[in-house]
Amino acid sequence: MYLAEPLTIDAARGATEQVTEQVTEQVRRFLLCLTSGPLGRQEAMHCPGLSHRPTFLYDYLQPAIRAGFAGMTRPDAPTSPTQKYRLTAKGRAVIAAEGEK
Q: What is the pLDDT of residues 44-82, one digit of tens each?
A: 999 989 999 999 999 999 999 999 999 999 999 999 999
Cα–Cα distance between 44 and 85 in angstroms, integer?
8
Domain of 96?
A: 22-100
**17 domain residue, yes or no:** no
Angle at 61 between CA 56 and CA 93, to 5 degrees: 135
Q: Is residue 3 scored above 60 in pLDDT?
A: no
> Dihedral of CA 32/35/41/43: which sign?
negative
Distance CA 87, CA 30 (A): 10
The model's pLDDT over 19-44, given as tens digits with 9 standing for 90+, comes to: 444 688 999 999 999 999 999 999 99
Provide the pLDDT confidence category of residue 99 given band limits of 50, 70 and 90: confident
CB atoms within 10 A of CB 46: 14
Number of domains into which the chain is organized: 1
pLDDT at 6 over 90: no
pLDDT at 19: 47
CATH of the domain at 78: 1.10.10.10
Residue 14 lies in a domain: no
Residue 66 is inside which H or E element, if any? helix 62-66
